[in-house]
A and B are shown apart, each in its own frame.
Chain A
Amino acid sequence: MSALQACLLFSSALFALGLAAALARRTAILVLLALELMLSAGTVNLVAFWRYGPRPADASGLLFVLFAIAISAAEAGVGLALVIAVRRHHASIRLDQPARLKG
């Protein structure tokens, strides 16, 4: 088993973990955390493909990672804001409660 395969197995596991959590949990915060896990799995893939790919010398993979982290941070911010808004509106952050987007 090569190092790349190991990395990919790890990231798959991480993704599966995140997905399972996102589907199982009912609390919006935990779902958000799970989403972050899935995003990290993707990031690991990117690093792995760069490190063991044809041109490990240039820093392309790292740049991807930097962007991905920035985006996930932004997304987490937006997500948390939404959660707070939903909490204010419905007095709950359980995802099965707010079934209507109309205020």
Chain B
Amino acid sequence: MRATAEHLWAIPALPLAAAAVISLLPRRCARAACWFATASVASGLVWSLAALAEAARSAGPLVANFAWFQIAGAPVRLGLLLDPLGAAMCVMVTAICTAVFVFSGGYMAEDRNRKAFFGYLSLFAAAMLGLVIANSLLLLFVCWEIVGSASYLLIGFWHERPAAAAAAKKAFLTTRIGDLGLFLGMLWLYRSDGTLLFYDHGAGVLDPAVLGRLAAPTGIALLLFCGAIGKSGQFPLQVWLPDAMEGPTPVSALIHAATMVAAGVFLLARVYPLMAADQALAQVPFHALSVVAGIGALTALIGAAAAVAQADLKRVLAYSTVSQLGYMMLAIGVGSWVAAIFHLLTHAFFKALLFLGAGSVIHATHHEQQLRRLGGLGRRLPATFATFAIGAMSLAGVPFLLSGYWSKEAILHAAAGWAPSRLPLLAALAGVALTAFYVTRMVALVFAGEARAPAAAHATESGPSLVGPLFFLSLGAVLLGFVGTPGRPWLQSFLTGAPLAREAPLGAPSLVLLSAGLLVAGAAAAWSLYGRRPARSADAPDPLAQRWPRLFPFLAAGLGFDRLYARTVVRAATFAAAAADDLDRTIWDGSVRAVAAAAVRTGAAGRSAEERALNGGFSAATAGMRRGARAIHDRQRGRAQFYLGALAAGFIALAAAIWWEGRP
């Protein structure tokens, strides 16, 4: 069967059905839940490969649009889209999902609530897959929000830990800021175009005819970029991503490294024509893409700098993710969305590999993830070490063999070719050196030297369900680079639909040499500090901290953004809430109370007037009446015979009177 656009719904529907089934299972059926979830994404992978083949075969994007519901006589339309970008993302997401789900089966084996874990993961997978095949910004937004909520649930999975609960809330709220920007951008786009479908046989927002008459393209593009900033942890909203490491490590691998955080990059790639729509306009003060490039370059630098000084293995990787996402944004900003997607795909594999490797380390050392308490694990966990090293080299961009190198080089080349400014290229090159430094530091502290704590000393290699996915992912981390080398850029031509344009097999020689030199310099510096004379005790201070006692804590604190926001934004919000509450209690309720008090006072005045003037007269009158009544009352004694006699006398008098009257 061919996987055309009409059948695409099956890809997200499978994990969605798995999530529904899992939610109905009793808690003890955790093993069945794991199987359902894994089987659903694995079969999704098969479907996605079929979709990829179909996308490669077809000439243009295939769409299947449908009406969701009617409102006031007009339909709200959604659609599914099969194009190379979406199909490639589908394959990547299902592949990573499969690896992570298998890993989770082993990693979470002892958790009493792991049935729910697989339910959340399946829900996430469904929404993520829906996001990448959406042919409508509305459907994309719907899935976008659901992946955000799944991320919230999974970061807060160990919700009894206050840190996890706080991190989940922080992640949701921070991304929510960006999401509302995206929401407004979507509304603005709808106001301008009257539709939210990407492609609709010439009438969709990305169809050239509609793009041409777009009003205010810069504003819309920047609002859409807000969503990407939030989701992809870009400056200034990058603060949530390191905290999100409170979630279980497979979650960090899947959601906070490989897929969801890359959704921002995917969004910009998807709506790239929109982002670039203001390039032709001369009168705008700045182009949307320039902002994207600037933010991306800044984030790449900030993330890499903060990663240098982290004490926690997962936080190193988290800041590294921030930095790598910055690279992708930079690529989009300088106009090469293809390079961004290339890096997104390779990054997904090697970063998921690194996180799962970290998970394997953490699992083996019974939840020890402080770098200073690890060490010497290279011999104890050989499989983990080998695969982790592949991931680390790929991240650092060790030339020629590893996928990360090729995609990073693609971005550097794109940045070098960007006319408006050299700054993004310089930032990216600085990032290369920093990346090599923190990767080397991390590997050296975890795997080299001697174990610095008992947990690390007694670590043993994990079982096949943990190691198997590592090998699978390292395969991807190595091989994926070769689909897009400059000598044979198959991925580039697949994504853009342009014919294969062969270039020099290695790219521009000066740039290649420069980046390789920076890489070596960064790695050598780190090795001289951490690898040559490894620390023997967990209490030994970090060599870098000794050298830069003021800079190091600043970098370790993520360049102080958390503190800055706590002092400004959070304090302002708290103050505004208190002020709103005060306003309510004093001004509004106070004015009501003042009205009520005035009414009560008026009532009191009226009452006293009534008591003196009206009631006084009335009382006097009734008192007089009462006196009169008492006089009459004395005549009544209840003597029945007296009454009867009176009656008889009256009767006789009456008869006499009649007789008297009737006299002739």
Residues of B within 8 A of A19 (CB): 648
Interface size class of B (residues with CB under 8 A): under 10
Q: Which residues of A contact B645 (CB under 8 A)?
A: 23
- Chain A CB within 8 A of B640 CB: yes
Could you tell me the dominant secondary structure of chain B's interface residues?
helix
Is the CB–CB distance between B639 and A96 below 8 Å?
yes
Q: Is B419 positioned at the interface, with any CB of A under 8 Å from its CB? A: no
A5-35 Cβ-contact flags toward B at 8 Å (1 or 0): 0000000000000010011001000010000
A59 contacts the other chain (CB 8 A): no
Q: Which single residue of chain B is at the shortest CB-CB distance from A20? A: B648
Interface mask (B628-645 → A, CB under 8 Å = 1, otherwise 0): 000000000111110011
| Assembled-state Cα–Cα distance A23/B648 (Å) | 9
Task: Kindly supply a per-residue 1/0 record for chain B positions 497-525, scoring 1 wherever the CB is within 8 Å of any chain A CB and 0 otherwise.
Answer: 00000000000000000000000000000
Give chain A residues whose Cβ lies under 8 Å from the Cβ of B639.
95-96, 99
Q: A19-B648, A23-B648 are in contact. Are A95 and B637 (CB under 8 A)?
A: no
Q: Which residues of B contact A96 (CB under 8 A)?
A: 639, 641
A20 to B: closest C-beta gap in Å: 9
Q: Cβ of B637: which chain A residues have Cβ within 8 Å of it?
A: 99
Q: How far is the CB of A82 from chain B (nearest CB, A)?
A: 11
| Complex CA–CA separation, A31 to B648 (angstroms) | 14
Contact A22 B638 (CB under 8 A): no
Complex: A61 Cα to B600 Cα, angstroms: 73
Candidates A23, A26, A31, A99; contact of B638 at CB < 8 Å: A99
Tell me the complex Cα distance, A95–B644, Å: 12
The minimal Cβ–Cβ distance linking B475 to chain A, given in whole angstroms, is: 108
Roughly how many angstroms separate A19 CA and B641 CA in the complex, as a whole number? 10
CA gap between A101 and B641 in the complex, in Å: 15
A56 at the interface (CB under 8 A from B): no
CA distance in complex: A19, B167 (Å): 107
Instruction: Compute how far the CA of A73 lies from the CA of B104 in the bound complex, rounded to whole angstroms.
Output: 103
A19 CA to B655 CA in the complex, in Å? 15
* Beta-carbon nearest neighbor of B638 in chain A: A99
| Interface CB pairs A-B, < 8 A, 21 | A19-B648, A22-B641, A22-B644, A23-B641, A23-B644, A23-B645, A23-B648, A26-B641, A31-B640, A31-B641, A95-B639, A95-B640, A95-B641, A96-B639, A96-B641, A98-B638, A99-B637, A99-B638, A99-B639, A100-B638, A101-B638
**A residues at B contact (CB < 8 Å):** 19, 22-23, 26, 31, 95-96, 98-101
Given contacts A31-B641, A98-B638, A99-B638, 9 further A-B contacts (CB under 8 A): A22-B644, A23-B641, A23-B645, A26-B641, A95-B640, A96-B639, A96-B641, A99-B639, A100-B638
Closest 6 CB pairs of A and B: A99-B638, A99-B637, A23-B645, A95-B640, A95-B641, A19-B648
